[in-house]
């Protein structure tokens, strides 16, 4: 007699995925204390990123697949496929995506275009100087109608958000609001 038992792993996978989402991602990942920034080498977009662990600790099989290895079973592959499908769907609910770099896994969000500064005085976008002061940057944003993220990139290449308290003139633009 065949005593193979059918197991529904959706509940187990859902619980494991929820443990990866202990932070409230409904507002994005910008407020997460573990969030880092990098510039996507393919699109040039600014990306917010949180390390969630390595493949061996996240995937149900606990394995990292290489094309030449034979240590994975069909069961491992199916479980990992379904887990990853559920994880990606959960990320989609928040406008996030998963990126894998070697064995490291990240939850990420694309911020898109950005303005960078190295000295907090000159601001660049797409390699072109767009402002030589915060006031000029505010004018640039008002003229373009888009308030892109402003980041500081230091000499080592580390990226941080640069917070500017913009004061839009009520006389000129109708309301005294801060962006």
Number of domains in the chain: 2
Sequence-ordered strand ranges (E) for 55-126: 97-101, 104-112, 114-117, 123-125
Residues 135 and 165: beta-carbon distance below 8 Å: no
Task: Write the pLDDT tens digit of every residue in 7-43.
Answer: 778 888 888 888 877 767 766 777 778 888 888 877 7
In this prediction, residue 6 carries a pLDDT of 65
Is 6 among the domain residues? no
Q: Looking at the structure, do residues 124 and 139 belong to the same domain, yes or no? A: yes
Full residue range of the structural domain in which residue 148 is found = 113-173
Q: Looking at the structure, do residues 56 and 85 belong to the same domain, yes or no? A: yes
Is 71 among the domain residues? yes
pLDDT at 173 over 80: no
State the average pLDDT for the chain.
80
What is the distance in angstroms between the CA of the first residue and the CA of the last residue of the chain? 70
pLDDT at 85 over 90: yes
pLDDT at 179 over 50: no
Q: Looking at the structure, do residues 107 and 52 belong to the same domain, yes or no? A: yes
What SS3 state is found at 12? helix
Task: Write the pLDDT tens digit of every residue in 117-144.
Answer: 888 788 888 888 988 988 888 888 888 7
Q: Looking at the structure, do residues 104 and 145 belong to the same domain, yes or no? A: no
């Amino acid at each position: 007699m065949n005593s193979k038992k059918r197991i529904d792993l959706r509940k187990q996978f859902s619980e494991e995925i929820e443990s990866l989402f202990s932070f409230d991602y409904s507002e994005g990942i910008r407020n997460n204390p573990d969030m880092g920034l990098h510039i996507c080498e393919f699109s040039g977009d600014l990306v917010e990123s949180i390390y969630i662990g390595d493949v061996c600790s996240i995937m149900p099989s606990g394995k990292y697949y290489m094309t030449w290895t034979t240590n994975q079973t069909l069961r491992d592959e199916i479980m990992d496929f379904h887990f990853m499908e559920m994880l990606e769907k959960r990320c989609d609910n928040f406008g996030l995506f998963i990126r894998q770099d070697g064995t490291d896994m990240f939850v990420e969000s694309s911020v898109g275009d950005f303005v960078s500064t190295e000295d907090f005085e000159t601001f660049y976008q797409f390699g072109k100087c767009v402002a030589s002061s915060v006031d000029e940057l505010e004018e640039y944003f008002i003229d373009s109608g888009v308030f892109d993220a402003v980041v500081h990139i230091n000499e080592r290449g580390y990226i941080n958000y640069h917070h500017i308290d913009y004061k839009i003139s009520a006389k000129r633009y109708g309301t005294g609001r801060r962006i």
